[in-house]
């Protein structure tokens, strides 16, 4: 049975406190039992006063009309009296702060409820007792308000007297399927002290030096009823917190009504002794905290601590070289990847916290090379499949309450349906996600086929988003959509063949038809319609040119780059392929200069402007999120192209490795590692005068192809050789 404290739920205007629940029960002997708790919101769980909650924002963030997630715990009980306690947060079931994406209008919106069982002993029902907690307001996107003067000491312990508490209400159960949450927990992984504290508008500004995601921990000895307000931000504009990076609707009248709530936590002190507070049911993306309501003597470094949270992923790969700029870019890329992994990949930890499908698709390869997100991907993919309409359409965000079908999707976003299972298979040899999605992939392929126009081309949804310079995409939508649709069909055919699904023939046919239409309508003498870097690069990268045409088509791409003064002039779709394409065609040094060059627009430029995470846009003045992951494929470029570690390059053999390093002239050494399913792989090259020493660390089961470019050869005269392990000396070929 699902139960709740009240049918009333929090709105932006009316705040309902997060409820406590407790139930005392007895057992005839000491035993270990399984406690299962399910909710469409968030929870914290105690048994006999001990907390068992696995992580922040448990169990998950999902549309409760689709899935209701539960967690299970093995818990010891004592003979005689025991007590279970639950604190319930609004979570996704009631996300008033998500009004920008219509979550305030979602059909599933309701007061938070939960179901709890203790196997064979206890089940949640209307005999549970409930009372308001000190959490007066909590919202997944906005923040949390906590009044410590309303704390109830010992509320979750056996001896507490709950005689004045009310009985819980039976709640209508959510419509979604009850399923276990198997994703790793969200935990604190790092704590940072402030690097600066300065007076600010009657309060104090705490600067933690790094844009990241998580919570702030307040440690204070205050007066009874002292109200401390903490507003989070990533960036200062003219010395003020920049609201433009905080909220998508900052320029609407609604924003002025909720400005006091946006990324703001409030704590009211109980007084008399040292007290500590960390929010339970929200999180923020921030570098700065403007804190109000404290005296000057309280504004110490110990007052606030930046606590960095994200899903508990392991590191399985990395890159390092002799260039500090590249190393810093690798660091901030990894930081943004983790900062945006909260159960599933998010677009950003401050403005939206949405599961934007394109962001995940663009990032999934480099995330797989650096971390272990595959369990998170698989659980989220179930939600993507569930959100698919009967006609095959996908929303641009998952989870959604219905928003994202009419704006915010299209092939470059929908490709997540095949990209996630594809890259998980390539890098982990796991077919589970292919089986999970095969029917949905077929449904989408038929939808995609039907969306073609009379010329056989695709043109719907979003295109080359976030073009550098914050201008509209230069690449026509009909180009990027048709190219990505072809790539979806190619990857779908590959995946369906892997599991023996006969739908691969339809996918291959669709790919051939899209290619033929593109070549007939959008290519003129090896030049792609739109005449820009993204259009030319995507057509080359995804196989729209015949082999005999590629050299001339690539020269045309170089022309566009040179016309832009050797700077990138792309959005996220072009940026995903441009550097790889340059390296594949012998221009890795140019790719390196495009990345590290200090002039706008480049990755080196945002570093010069103080970036400590990847920005959403390459702009002269930040206007959007300063912590996005969809520009992060430079990490895959570093690992695969500069270090040359190319694992399973054809996607068909996880015992295969190609080592194809690009010896960037400005670099003295480069190295990368990847923990493959067969064991750790490491590649390092280092200059010794005119010689390069290449060192490989490999599992015995790995078959390696060494592919050298740019006039380099092995000292035995070969330029390609199969090897298994060891160190190899390379010398420059004398021409």
pTM of the model: 0.96
Helix, strand, coil fractions of the chain, as percent rounded to 5: 30, 30, 40
- Residue 149 token pair: 């003067």
**pLDDT band (50, 70, 90) for residue 519:** very high
pLDDT(725) > 90: no
Q: Average pLDDT in the 72-98 region? A: 97
3-state secondary structure of 311: strand
Return the closest-CA partner of residue 248 out of 408, 58, 362, 62: 408
Q: Tokens 């990533």 label which residue?
A: 234
Q: Which of 2-11, 205-214, 245-254, 721-730 has the weakest average pLDDT?
A: 721-730
**pLDDT band (50, 70, 90) for residue 158:** very high
Cα–Cα distance measured from residue 686 to residue 318, given in angstroms and rounded to the nearest whole number: 17
Neighbours of 699 (CB within 10 A): 15
**pLDDT band (50, 70, 90) for residue 733:** very low
Percent of the chain with pLDDT over 70: 96
Q: Average pLDDT in the 69-98 region? A: 97
Cα–Cα distance measured from residue 568 to residue 570, given in angstroms and rounded to the nearest whole number: 6
DSSP annotation of 104 reads G
Q: What is the DSSP string of 622-675?
A: --S-S--STTTTHHHHIIIIIS-EEESTTSS-TTEEEE-----TT-SEEEEEEE
User: Which residues, in sequence order, are CB contacts of 317 under 8 Å at separation 6+?
Assistant: 369, 370, 371, 639, 672, 673, 674, 675
Cα–Cα distance measured from residue 212 to residue 311, given in angstroms and rounded to the nearest whole number: 14
Q: What tens digit of pLDDT does each residue of 533-542 get?
A: 999 999 999 9
Strand partners, 39: 69, 114
pLDDT for the residue 469:
84
- Residue 439 token pair: 């029917």
Secondary structure E strands in 119-268: 122-123, 129-132, 135-139, 143-147, 166-167, 169-170, 177-180, 186-192, 196-200, 203-221, 227-233, 236-237, 240-241, 264-268
Q: What tens digit of pLDDT does each residue of 271-315 get?
A: 989 999 999 999 999 999 999 999 999 999 999 999 999 999 999
Q: What is the DSSP string of 250-291?
A: TTSHHHHHHTTTTTEEEEE---SSEEEE--SS--EEEEEEEE
- Residue 427 token pair: 């890098």
| Cβ proximity of 468 and 476 under 8 Å | no
């Amino acid at each position: 049975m699902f139960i709740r404290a009240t049918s009333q739920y929090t709105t932006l205007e009316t705040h309902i406190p997060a409820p406590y629940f407790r139930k005392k029960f007895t057992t005839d002997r000491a035993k270990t039992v399984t406690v299962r708790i399910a909710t469409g919101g968030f929870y914290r769980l105690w048994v006999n006063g001990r907390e068992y909650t696995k992580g922040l924002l448990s169990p998950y963030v999902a549309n409760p009309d689709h899935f209701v997630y539960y967690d299970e715990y093995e818990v010891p009980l004592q003979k005689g009296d025991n007590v279970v306690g639950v604190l319930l947060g609004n979570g996704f079931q009631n996300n008033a702060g998500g009004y920008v994406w219509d979550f305030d209008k979602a059909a599933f919106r309701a007061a938070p409820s939960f179901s709890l069982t203790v196997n064979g002993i206890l089940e949640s029902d209307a005999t549970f007792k409930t009372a308001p907690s000190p959490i007066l307001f909590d919202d997944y996107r906005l923040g949390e308000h906590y009044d410590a003067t309303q704390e109830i000491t010992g509320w979750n312990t056996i001896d507490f007297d709950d005689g004045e508490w009310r009985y819980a209400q039976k709640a209508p159960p959510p419509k979604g399927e009850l399923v276990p949450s198997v994703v790793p927990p969200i935990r604190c992984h790092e704590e940072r002290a402030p690097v600066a504290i300065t007076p600010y508008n009657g309060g104090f500004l705490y600067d933690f030096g790094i844009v990241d995601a998580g919570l702030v921990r307040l440690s204070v000895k205050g007066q009874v009823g002292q109200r401390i307000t903490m507003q989070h931000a990533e960036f200062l504009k003219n010395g003020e917190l920049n609201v433009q990076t905080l909220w998508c609707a900052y320029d609407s009248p609604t924003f002025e009504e909720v400005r006091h709530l946006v990324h703001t936590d409030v704590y009211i002190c109980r007084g008399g002794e040292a007290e500590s507070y960390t929010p339970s049911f929200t999180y923020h993306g921030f570098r700065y905290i403007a804190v109000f309501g404290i005296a000057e003597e309280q504004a110490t470094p110990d007052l606030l601590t930046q606590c960095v949270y994200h899903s508990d992923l392991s590191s399985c790969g990395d890159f390092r070289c002799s260039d500090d700029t590249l190393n810093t870019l690798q660091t901030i890329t990894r930081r943004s990847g983790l900062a945006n992994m909260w159960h599933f990949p998010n677009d950003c930890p401050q403005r939206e916290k949405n599961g934007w499908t394109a962001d995940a698709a663009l990032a999934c390869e480099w995330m797989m090379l650096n971390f272990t997100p595959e369990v998170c991907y698989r659980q989220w993919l179930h939600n993507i499949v569930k959100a698919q309409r009967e006609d095959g359409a996908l929303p641009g965000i998952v989870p959604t309450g219905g928003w994202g079908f009419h704006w915010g999707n299209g092939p470059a976003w929908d490709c997540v349906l095949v990209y996630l299972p594809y890259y998980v298979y390539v890098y982990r040899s796991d077919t589970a996600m292919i089986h999970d999605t095969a029917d949905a992939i077929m449904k989408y392929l038929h939808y995609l086929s039907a969306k073609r126009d009379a010329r056989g081309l695709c043109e719907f949804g979003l295109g080359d988003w976030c073009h550098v310079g914050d201008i509209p995409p230069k690449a026509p939508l009909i180009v990027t959509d048709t190219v990505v649709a072809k790539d979806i069909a190619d990857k779908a055919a590959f995946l369906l063949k892997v599991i023996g699904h006969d739908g691969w023939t339809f996918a291959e046919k669709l790919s051939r038809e899209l290619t033929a239409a593109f070549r007939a309508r959008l290519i003129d003498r090896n030049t792609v319609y739109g005449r820009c870097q993204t259009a030319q690069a995507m057509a080359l990268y995804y196989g729209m040119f015949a082999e005999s045409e590629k050299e001339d088509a690539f020269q045309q791409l170089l022309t566009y780059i040179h016309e832009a003064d050797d700077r990138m002039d792309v959005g996220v779709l072009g940026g995903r392929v441009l550097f790889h394409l340059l390296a594949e065609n012998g221009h890795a040094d140019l790719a390196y200069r495009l990345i590290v060059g200090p002039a706008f627009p480049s990755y080196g430029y945002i570093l010069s402007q103080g970036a400590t995470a990847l920005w959403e846009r390459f702009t002269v003045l930040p206007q959007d999120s300063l912590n996005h992951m969809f520009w992060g494929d430079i990490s895959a470029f570093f690992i695969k192209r500069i270090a040359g570690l190319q694992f399973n390059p054809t996607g068909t053999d996880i015992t295969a490795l190609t080592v194809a390093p690009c010896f960037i002239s400005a670099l003295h050494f480069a190295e990368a590692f990847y923990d493959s399913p067969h064991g750790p792989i490491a590649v390092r090259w280092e200059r010794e005068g005119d010689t390069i020493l290449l060192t490989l660390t490999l599992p015995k089961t790995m078959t390696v192809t060494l592919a050298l470019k740019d006039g380099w050869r092995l000292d035995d005269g070969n330029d390609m050789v199969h090897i298994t392990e060891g160190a190899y000396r390379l010398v420059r070929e004398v021409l």
